[in-house]
Structure 1
Amino acid sequence: MYRIFCIIPVLLLFGCRSHLDTDSFEAPRNRAVDISVLTGNLKKAEHLLVLDEQNLSPEEKLFVSTLQGLVSKSSRTQIYIDPGYGGYTAWLKDLEIRGVTVEPVDDYRILIDRYKDYIEAYILCSIKDQSVNGANSLVSLYKAPAIDTSLESEMISRGISMALDVRGKDEKWVFENYKDRFSKDVLFEQKESLVPALRDYAVALNGFLFFDGNSSFRKMITRWAGEDAPLFGWGDPGRGEDKFVAMSSRSDLYTIPSDHARNLSVFSGFETADLKQVSAEVQTYDEKVHYVSFLMSDGDNVQWMLGDLYTDSRWWGNSGRGSFPMGWAVSPLMADIAPSVLQRYYRDAAAGEQPNHFVAGPSGSGYLYPSLYSPQALAAHVETLNRRMGRTDLGIVEIIDFNSLYKENLWELYTRQNNIDALIYLEFRNHKSHKGKILWSKGKPIITPREMLWEGLRGCDEATVIRNLNGQNRNPSDSSGYSLVLVHAWSKGLDNVQQVIDGLDSDVKVVAPDELVRLITEKVSRD
């Protein structure tokens, strides 16, 4: 998926799809409002019309998803698209527990009749060309869902007229003609071929939706958006994810991996009380033990949290979860965009015999490289992050960056926050390259992984990790008495973690990340 060390260059070809002058355009920057302000405008659903995504054609998915986002702003009877995989069935049941009633719908045309009062017109596009994203962006402006030409007759037969025909027009044309009417507080990056994922949310938040590779147009769009705005979706990883995440970071935007996320317009309409993690009881300190903590990577990936993470036996759905301490990264932004989902994870985490502890994924409220953010934008981002971490009872923040471990001025922005107890620094090219080194910032540790479980990388197999951990220092008063093991989510799972634990010596003790931080903070010398 992403965060792969070996990057294979490919040739990227970008054609000129519009006469928009991307080099000369520069909009004034304003600080983006907090996403909670945007989600606060969405209605809380009381009744959901549920459609089976597998029974919908691509053209029908486009219509249903754009209508879904449109009605989330004005109706408490909303639309839920069930993709038939991952946690979406569980999330729907949670909403039912909250009092939401559910009604299965087996024909998309029923929605046209049910929501006729909310549909002022339709926007005509073709799913076979580049007009899909442009039409998607315009839905909220015209209060008109996007319709492929193959479905137009259904609208006409019901007396609904066309507001605009954007066939043959791309995102650049839409931006050139409508840029002043889109919210600068949020952006959406989505391939035209991906429907229905994320399209409802772009409509719900009146966001501009585009996909143009790592082009000058993309760079211009990221500079147009508000400072420290979230960019939902995923860019072009053809030459590595660092290419587009770095471009966004230089524009003071943070990425929310979500290009396969469904139903965010529904989830965002709900609220939840501040969440509380259940930590393990403080264990008796042992002077002759080496302490180890395991942390699953990629928790900032919102689409994964909504999808396979919850049900797959490699991860949260593993029957052994809760039998040993385990760390998981999550996106603090989930408290705003899918609070009921995050609450379910917390509730499940509290049910195990051993703690499943959450930390904030890299590098804050979303995926960014702190060294590439402007100082003022990073300071603002971290202040907002601190409030979110207070709401979600998160105390540790993962960081991904390039050769920045010793940039003390960056980390002081984080460590001066009262809700941040520690940082975990991951070097982008090799997360364990700093070999377990621990630095200090304002009395708080910055911890680097000593080991990794990662298929295909030398020295990251189970046998090597077991041997290395068993050979470590048993002196918790020294930083060498602790090891953080990063588990690569896309090649390893809980069974692999259990295999390592089974091979550890009796004086190598596994603890949750918060316990590791507590011990390091209390016992390790700052010298």
Structure 2
Amino acid sequence: MIRSMLRYLILPILYGLCVMVDAGDKPAQNDKAPNQKLSVIDIRRASDAERTLAATLQGLVNKTEARVWIKGGGMQKILLNELETEGYELEQIATVWELVASFRAKIKGCIVYDSGNRSINAATALCGPFEGVAIHKSILKRAKKEGLKVLHDVSDHDDPVETYETFKDRFAKGILAEQAPKKVWHLRDFIVQRNAFVFWDVSANVRTRFARECAAEELIYGWGKDERNWVRDISKGGAAGIPADWSTNLSALSHLKVEVPAPPEAKPLTKVKEGERIVAFVMSDGDNLQWLGNSFATSTKHWGSRHRGTFTMSWEMAPVLSEVAPRIQRQIYRSASSGQYVDELIVGPSGVGYAFHNYLPNRKAFAKKTAQAMKVSNLSVVTLLNSGGNMTQARELLEHPSVLGAVYKDYAPYHKRRGALDWHNGKPCLSYRYLLWEGMKGASPKEVAAAIKKLPASPATDPNSFALVNVHAWSWDSIGGPMDAIKKTIDLLPSGTRFVTASQLLGLLRKHHSESGRKRK
């Protein structure tokens, strides 16, 4: 991903502005009927200190069931309306301090932090294990007035290693987070709910150590300063990343379980015709949990585009939704186009989470976890985004019966291997041949269409008659968005071009070319 997410998150954000226990990364579950009342608060006008307080309180009281919801736009607004329609009682809370008063009995005290360092992360990390809320020094007097005693003062804790070493037996295993101190409330509810350790801006070796000790073969939520370095470091520790640094309400959504229908399935194809070229467009960055939970569904550049449903395409998607936000997954699945034109969903980079497979110490374990997540989410095609590796590193994934095939992209550029094909266990791993990315040479609708026209048109005998096109999700503002770029490309191609989903394309390759392309790329 090489992302420029902020401009797509501003509107919904402004609107809404490892104790060692078994399965410590999951909230406790109750056998009783789910809570049907939610305290709802709008923190747009709250101070940063109050926003942090609200988020950490939310995570604390949402440990066993959904009790608090922070208002937001985009998908968050859709889901809150859905809950109200289902009969949830939504109690509107006017201020953060009113929220504190409502749940005072569940708060044992406060963890004090300060500005100008990384102590907000130390405080956030300790709120879950010590059943407290994070209090900035500027509001400590008010907190004491509300009866909150100081459990720990970590206002001088700027070193994440020191915090980790001091309290590491308190943090849950199986989860980790990296979050910038300037993001004062996003994701922090989830960190508190899961008793996760959270840090920011450490050396590569330290990040890898944290990943290995807290989240080996598990997930790290948040984001880092540099995408490639972040993913490399956590991959070396055996973990995978979930871009979630602008996520909200995960502590509530993880409890608000629903039955999720299977996504629309494109009819498998078997026949090809001489003279046709077969093309599949795939939207990038669907592993991005924060995007899916905010503007994805309503953005006219993406899922909310007027063009969606007028042609067949595939979208990368995060299987982790089934665990942490099944309502988001359901909303996407049931609104996907079906019938003549299909919105197919495939697993985003690089499986259960974002990892570089060439750095993973145990690809078999990662592949097993990915296959399990794919089965739960009813997804059959997986994306591999690699940095410095090769296509054979998809083979552990292709061993699993639930995996139909893999699509492959290099870190930069995505289409570096230009349609290269690797086979394993009778299944294809196909690399992207083209890329729609604004400002990149050869990646405009006109250039991609011209290149496709030059391909062979003998799909029964020549696998070069097939083309995967990855569509960069953060490009093409100049023409309305990436969906407009796809539409322009389609309009420039001859009528004999067949547009299919990624799974249909891979299925046709299996049908007609399963004995070819065995040379390692």
Shift of residue 160 of structure 1?
2.5
1:446-489 per-residue CA deviation (whole Å, 9 max, x = no partner) reads 11111110011110011101111122111112211111100011
1:402-458 per-residue CA deviation (whole Å, 9 max, x = no partner) reads 343343xx3331111011000101011221121112221100011111111001111
Which residue is equivalent to 2:371? Answer: 386
Shift of residue 159 of structure 1?
2.4
Bigger shift: residues 434-443 or 350-359: 350-359
Report if the CA contact (8 A) 1:213-1:235 is conserved: no
Report if the CA contact (8 A) 2:260-2:329 is conserved: no
Report if the CA contact (8 A) 1:123-1:162 is conserved: yes
SS in 2 for 1:54: coil
Distance 1:162 1:402, change over 3 A: closer
- For 1:119 and 1:379, the matched residues in 2 are separated by 42
Report if the CA contact (8 A) 1:438-1:446 is conserved: yes
Query: After the TM superposition, which residues 12-23 of structure 1 pair with which residues of structure 2 at under 5 Å, given as runs?
Result: none
Shift of residue 98 of structure 1?
4.3
Report if the CA contact (8 A) 1:134-1:174 is conserved: yes
Distance 1:215 1:515, change over 3 A: closer
Which residue is equivalent to 1:464? Answer: 447
Report if the CA contact (8 A) 1:186-1:207 is conserved: yes
Q: Which runs of 5+ in 2 are unaligned?
A: 5-17, 477-481, 517-521
Which residue is equivalent to 1:455? Answer: 438
Identify the match of residue 306 of structure 1 among 278, 281, 293. Answer: 293
Q: Does 1:161 align with 2:145?
A: no
Identify the match of residue 442 of structure 1 among 425, 437, 461. Answer: 425
What amino acid maps onto 1:311 in structure 2?
Answer: T
Shift of residue 93 of structure 1?
2.2
Which residue is equivalent to 2:349? Answer: 362
Distance 1:33 1:320, change over 3 A: farther
- For 1:295 and 1:233, the matched residues in 2 are separated by 24
Question: TM-score under structure 1 normalisation?
Answer: 0.88
Shift of residue 511 of structure 1?
1.1
Query: After the TM superposition, which residues 183-194 of structure 1 pair with which residues of structure 2 at under 5 Å, given as runs?
Result: 183-194=172-183
Q: Does 1:417 align with 2:417?
A: no
Q: Which runs of 5+ in 1 are unaligned?
A: 5-26
SS in 2 for 1:291: strand
Q: Does 1:481 align with 2:481?
A: no
SS in 2 for 1:225: helix
Query: After the TM superposition, which residues 199-210 of structure 1 pair with which residues of structure 2 at under 5 Å, given as runs?
Result: 199-210=188-199
- For 1:86 and 1:320, the matched residues in 2 are separated by 19
SS in 2 for 1:364: coil
Name the count of aligned residue pairs: 492
SS in 1 for 2:180: coil
Shift of residue 45 of structure 1?
4.6
Distance 1:75 1:289, change over 3 A: closer
SS in 2 for 1:374: coil
Query: After the TM superposition, which residues 95-134 of structure 1 pair with which residues of structure 2 at under 5 Å, given as runs?
Result: 95-134=83-122
1:165-184 per-residue CA deviation (whole Å, 9 max, x = no partner) reads 21112333321211111112
What amino acid maps onto 1:390 in structure 2?
Answer: K
Shift of residue 312 of structure 1?
1.1
Identify the match of residue 317 of structure 2 among 324, 330, 351. Answer: 330
Which residue is equivalent to 1:245? Answer: 231
Distance 1:112 1:287, change over 3 A: same
- For 2:28 and 2:463, the matched residues in 1 are separated by 45
- For 2:253 and 2:197, the matched residues in 1 are separated by 20
SS in 1 for 2:358: helix
Report if the CA contact (8 A) 1:223-1:251 is conserved: yes
Bigger shift: residues 91-100 or 139-148: 91-100
Q: Does 1:273 align with 2:259?
A: yes
Shift of residue 382 of structure 1?
1.5
Distance 1:270 1:213, change over 3 A: same
Bigger shift: residues 285-294 or 203-212: 285-294
Shift of residue 274 of structure 1?
5.4
Report if the CA contact (8 A) 1:383-1:417 is conserved: yes
What amino acid maps onto 1:107 in structure 2?
Answer: T
- For 1:351 and 1:414, the matched residues in 2 are separated by 28
Report if the CA contact (8 A) 2:384-2:394 is conserved: no
The Cα RMSD (Å) is: 2.2
Distance 1:368 1:98, change over 3 A: farther
- For 1:226 and 1:75, the matched residues in 2 are separated by 24
1:184-234 per-residue CA deviation (whole Å, 9 max, x = no partner) reads 210010011102111011100000011024354333322322421211000
Bigger shift: residues 285-294 or 397-406: 397-406
- For 2:64 and 2:141, the matched residues in 1 are separated by 26
Bigger shift: residues 266-275 or 340-349: 266-275
- For 1:287 and 1:401, the matched residues in 2 are separated by 34
Question: TM-score under structure 2 normalisation?
Answer: 0.89
Shift of residue 365 of structure 1?
0.4
Report if the CA contact (8 A) 1:42-1:269 is conserved: no
1:112-148 per-residue CA deviation (whole Å, 9 max, x = no partner) reads 1100110111112224432111011110122110111
What amino acid maps onto 1:152 in structure 2?
Answer: L
SS in 1 for 2:166: helix
- For 2:469 and 2:385, the matched residues in 1 are separated by 15
Which residue is equivalent to 1:21? Answer: none
Which residue is equivalent to 1:139? Answer: 127
Identify the match of residue 490 of structure 1 among 474, 499, 518. Answer: 474
Q: Does 1:432 align with 2:429?
A: no
Report if the CA contact (8 A) 1:40-1:269 is conserved: no
Percent identity at matched positions? 28
- For 1:108 and 1:209, the matched residues in 2 are separated by 23
Q: Does 1:341 align with 2:328?
A: yes
- For 2:391 and 2:267, the matched residues in 1 are separated by 34
- For 1:33 and 1:386, the matched residues in 2 are separated by 23
Which residue is equivalent to 1:287? Answer: 274
- For 1:258 and 1:414, the matched residues in 2 are separated by 25
